Amino acid sequence: MPFSPKTLDFLFENRINDSKAWFQAHKDDFNEYVKKPMEELCERLRPYIAEIDEQCNVTHISRIYRDTRFAKGKSIYRENMWCTYSHVRDLYKSLPAFYFDISAKGFEYGCGWYVASADTMNAYRSLILSDSPIFTAAQAAYDDQDTFTLYGDLYKRNKFPEESEEKCFWLNRKNTGLTALLTDWDIIFSDELADFAGKKMSETAAVYDFFMKAEEIAAKERKGLSPSGHENS
């Protein structure tokens, strides 16, 4: 079953009431209008993700409430629900993931790091600076689409003033990934959502491959290996 206006109504009320008692009293609504549609969406997206990376098969659906250890200054009960696909369940590990999020703002989706490690970002920049074909392909895929934008905080000062503006657009980010916000409610509330989002993600597979290559290089260097897999002397 697709998401519906009742999905948004529940999420809004869940955030405003911010109460375990309220949630328990409306748990059936949560299951019917939020949880079941999200689970169905995850299943329908799975073939699209597998086509990009068959090992990216660990699905994580968020809880409807935040961990109180990390919720200082925030409501405990969420106004959104999201799911991710990655190689590992722990999103704090430096691995890119695909994500899909529903809230009153719309349907947000994309791929990238939640928290990229410093060595991963160093490998990412090295691929760009060396004009690696995998970055060239990623840049071409990004330029050929108009759905996703590159996220990630930029350094206040350009750290690569000798590089082209096009490269600096990628280089000067502390963390990065692709994000898009769909606000066409006719699509969001329809059975077409999974196919729509899945096909859009498929268009940027080369960007995901670039992200994963950076992670592969960083992982080898952490183990004391050169990018080719040989031990560093």
Domain ranges of the chain: 5-222
Cα–Cα distances (Å) from 17 to 10, 24, 30, 173, 178, in that order, read 10, 12, 14, 37, 32
Q: Is the pLDDT of residue 233 over 70?
A: no
Q: What is the mean pLDDT of residues 94-109?
A: 94
Percent of the chain at pLDDT above 70? 91
CATH number of the structural domain 5-222: 3.30.930.20
Using the predicted structure, report yes or no on whether residue 93 has a pLDDT greater than 80: no
Long-range contacts of 96-100 (CB under 8 A, 24+ apart): 96/177, 96/208, 96/211, 96/212, 96/215, 97/56, 98/45, 98/49, 98/52, 98/56, 98/201, 98/208, 100/41, 100/42, 100/45, 100/197
Query: For residue range 150-183, what is the model confidence (pLDDT) as tens digits?
Result: 999 999 999 999 999 999 999 999 999 999 999 9
Arithmetic mean of pLDDT, 17-28 = 94
Residue 211 scores a pLDDT above 80: yes
Kindly report the average pLDDT of the chain as a whole number. 91
Residues with Cβ within 8 Å of residue 192, at least 6 apart in sequence = none
